[in-house]
Structure 1
Amino acid sequence: MSQKIDGGIAAAAQLRSVAVNTKVAPAGEAKTQAVQSVDSVRLTDEATQLQAMQRELSTAPAVDMARVQAVREALENGSYRINPDAIASRMLDLDQQLRG
């Protein structure tokens, strides 16, 4: 027996019929009774929050164009200042986080 694996969420919500042997007739023929079962999925609060966050982020733009424009203008007029100590500090913080 082969079965197609479908990763869609809609497939998990469908009902399925299962044949169950309930009694064997004297002639050796099996009688079956159809039983319906419902598959269900219960999400934790954390999973629900992650789904909400994913929906929110999927609608947000990937680049904050207002911020890009502000930095571009600051670079053009010479008012953008680079702080090498802050950059180094954040790089070291990231390194510590990655090492655990």
Structure 2
Amino acid sequence: MSQKIDGGIAAAAQMRSIAVNTRVAPAGESKAQAVQAADSVRLTGEATQLQAMQRELSNASAIDPARVQAVRQALENGSYRINPDAIASRMLDLDRQLQG
């Protein structure tokens, strides 16, 4: 069997439905009974908390408007100061984290 891979959502949904409905019913069992007897997933408390956190973060804004305004004002009035030592330190910390 060959299929064109187009990366579309519809193709992924179609493949998912094919995978779900591929269980063969044993003798005397209807296809509807076979689908109902499919595997189930039960999430742990930690997984449920992670899902809740993901929902909260997806609804949160990535931009803090108050911080943007404060930086904008500091730039306009000349009071914004760059600390090269702090920048270098954070870059080295990130490098250490990436190297393990």
TM-score of the pair, normalised by structure 1: 0.65
Provide the residue aligned with 1:65 in structure 2: 65
CA-based RMSD of the aligned residues comes to: 2.8
Q: CA deviation at 1:89?
A: 0.4
Could you say which structure has the higher helix fraction? 2
Matches within 5 A, 1:1-100: 5-6=15-16, 19-21=25-27, 33-34=28-29, 36=33, 37-100=37-100
State the alpha-carbon separation in 2 of the partners of residues 18 and 94 from structure 1. Answer: 52
Q: CA deviation at 1:20?
A: 1.8
What letter matches 1:5 in structure 2? M
1:31-85 deviation per Cα after TM superposition (whole angstroms, max 9, x unaligned): xx12631431022333222211210111111211111111000111111111110
Could you say which structure has the higher strand fraction? 1
State the alpha-carbon separation in 2 of the partners of residues 20 and 62 from structure 1. Answer: 52
**Which segments of 5 or more consecutive residues in structure 1 lack a partner in the other structure?**
22-32
Q: Which has the higher contact order (CA 8 A, sep 6+)?
A: 1
Q: CA deviation at 1:18?
A: 5.4
Q: CA deviation at 1:19?
A: 2.8
TM-score of the pair, normalised by structure 2: 0.65
